[in-house]
Amino acid sequence: MSFESAGYQLLPVLPEIVLAVGAMALLMVGAYQGVRTTGLIVILALVLLVVAGVLELTLPAGKLVTFNGSFIVDDFARFLKIVALIGSGATLILSTEFLTDPSRRIFEYAILVLLSTLGMMILISAGDLIMLYLGLELMSLALYVVAASNRDDIKSTEAGLKYFVLGALSSGMLLYGASLIYGFTGTVSFAGISAAAKTGSLGIVFGIVFLLAGLCFKVSAVPFHMWTPDVYEGAPTPVTAFFASAPKVAAMAVFTRVALTAFPGIMPQWQQIVVFVSIASMALGSFAAIGQTNIKRLMAYSSIGHMGFALVGLAAGTAEGAQGVLVYVAIYVAMTLGTFTVILAMKRNGQHVEKISDFAGLSRTNPLLAFFFAMLLFSLAGVPPLAGFFGKFYVFVAAIKAGLFTLSVIGVLTSVIGAYYYLSIVKVMYFDEPLTELDPVRVELRAVLAVAGLFNIFFFVYPGPLVSMATVAAKSLF
């Protein structure tokens, strides 16, 4: 193989190579220089994420395939990789305060975020079952460690352990499904499976069930959501913000790619699974959150519900449905990061507060913070003209055009029920008697909140760029 052909083979994976080599280099710096380099490593990790994003955008246009078709860079992959990189970068910015605490200077934290992001990028570009599994495990193993990164806190350690045990179970199910699919089709590549799985034999259907069960765990869809509330509550808040944003993007990406490119011939079989999971997730996300008193647990149930809404678009099985999923995921990341920024900003006397009652009278003690939080909550509830409304609008329109009327009606009803608990937080902020003053909000939190909040409020003014990019990305799958 000549140097030119080797270079062309490696060109599509250049952003991933940069992240991998950069993470290894930072690990060496940390190992030799110790915890005093934590701040420097976080800054360099952010730089690496920016460089990877720039490289991703400067790759040649069109569909690039390497490693015998197991790694695909198309418009779909580019769009979601940029969203995942933004999610990871914002998480690192939100984590600076957590990492500067003298008792908790963990230089490995930023490196683990980088490695997890590398796994996400591999997952988004996976063209066969082996690459899918490699990306999924690289993403997940780093997440298990990050969940337990606050070693002195029993809740954080418990969160890491729960996530690890249940994650191992889901990996086993996914592998079993993959081995069944390989056994009945004789190939691991999505294109080969698509050609071989036109008939939908019983073995292949069983394989899909197990494969999708493993992926449902990663997007925390019902009935594989058990870990979400405990892990969200137990993990440090910046880590919870990470869990709720970037990994969801990657898991939703591979969910969509597997369903639409590996099994287009047997859509009725997997569509039933997706419709059931979607309805169950929307219903549980709406009802279970009503009784929560901890804001992080509430956000866990909220994220379960939102993944249900995103799956409505996938259930449609059309290019328009895939476009709806992409728009929804991008808006969801902005809403979630903004909300977790507000949760991180809630500090009294140097202590973080997480009870919903702690938000009482926030409109009088910090009107700007309360306004942005209220707008984010309205957006999560899907109130027009905020960004969250458009996310739901695109997935429901796609589902209606595909004839999934019952699913759409249930989706709208659960959205109305879900609005109750978002609005109850707004009521606490605006109508309850204020508690003592909050600590001043740090600069980096203000910056992230401003970007996420303004994107949410003004998305309706100019939705064109995001929607058109999502349309092009979705069409590249068909």
Q: Is residue 125 part of a domain?
A: no
- pLDDT > 90? residue 197: no
Mean pLDDT calculated for residue range 74-88: 94
Residue 198: per-residue pLDDT? 78
Check: CB of residue 160 under 8 Å from CB of residue 105: no
Q: How confident is the model at residue 310 (pLDDT cuts 50, 70, 90)?
A: very high
- pLDDT > 70? residue 55: yes
Q: Is residue 177 part of a domain?
A: no
**284-298 pLDDT per residue, tens:** 999 998 888 999 999
Q: Is residue 141 part of a domain?
A: no
**120-163 pLDDT per residue, tens:** 999 999 999 999 999 999 999 999 998 888 778 888 888 889 99
Whole-model pTM over 0.75: yes
**432-442 pLDDT per residue, tens:** 888 778 888 88
Mean pLDDT calculated for residue range 98-105: 77
Q: Is residue 32 part of a domain?
A: no
Residue 62: per-residue pLDDT? 86
**375-427 pLDDT per residue, tens:** 999 999 999 889 999 999 999 999 999 999 999 999 999 999 999 999 999 99
**43-52 pLDDT per residue, tens:** 999 999 999 9
Full 3-state SS string of the chain: CCHHHHHHHHHHHHHHHHHHHHHHHHHHHHHHHHHHHHHHHHHHHHHHHHHHHHHHHHCCCCCEEECCCCEEECHHHHHHHHHHHHHHHHHHHHCHHHHHCHHHCCCHHHHHHHHHHHHHHHHHCECEHHHHHHHHHHHHHHHHHHHCCCCCCHHHHHHHHHHHHHHHHHHHHHHHHHHHHHHHHCCCEHHHHHHHCCCCCHHHHHHHHHHHHHHHHHCCCCCCCCHHHHHHHHCCHHHHHHHHCHHHHHHHHHHHHHHHHHCHHHHHHHHHHHHHHHHHHHHHHHHCCCCCCEHHHHHHHHHHHHHHHHHHHHHHCCHHHHHHHHHHHHHHHHHHHHHHHHHHHCEECCEECCEHHHHCCHHHHCHHHHHHHHHHHHHHHCCCCCHHHHHHHHHHHHHHHCCCHHHHHHHHHHHHHHHHHHHHHHHHHHHCCCCCCCCCCCHHHHHHHHHHHHHHHHHHHCCHHHHHHHHHHHHCCC
**171-191 pLDDT per residue, tens:** 999 999 999 999 999 899 998
Q: Is residue 447 part of a domain?
A: yes
* Residue 232: Cβ within 10 Å count: 29
Radius of gyration of the chain, Cα coordinates, nearest whole angstrom: 21
Q: Is residue 341 part of a domain?
A: yes
Residue 307: per-residue pLDDT? 94
Q: Is residue 54 part of a domain?
A: no
Q: Is residue 87 part of a domain?
A: no
**The pair of three-digit structure tokens given for residue 427, joined into one six-digit string:** 């009521």
- pLDDT > 70? residue 3: no
* Domain, as residue range, for 395: 263-478
Residue 427: per-residue pLDDT? 93
Domain count for the chain, please give it.
1
Mean pLDDT calculated for residue range 323-349: 92
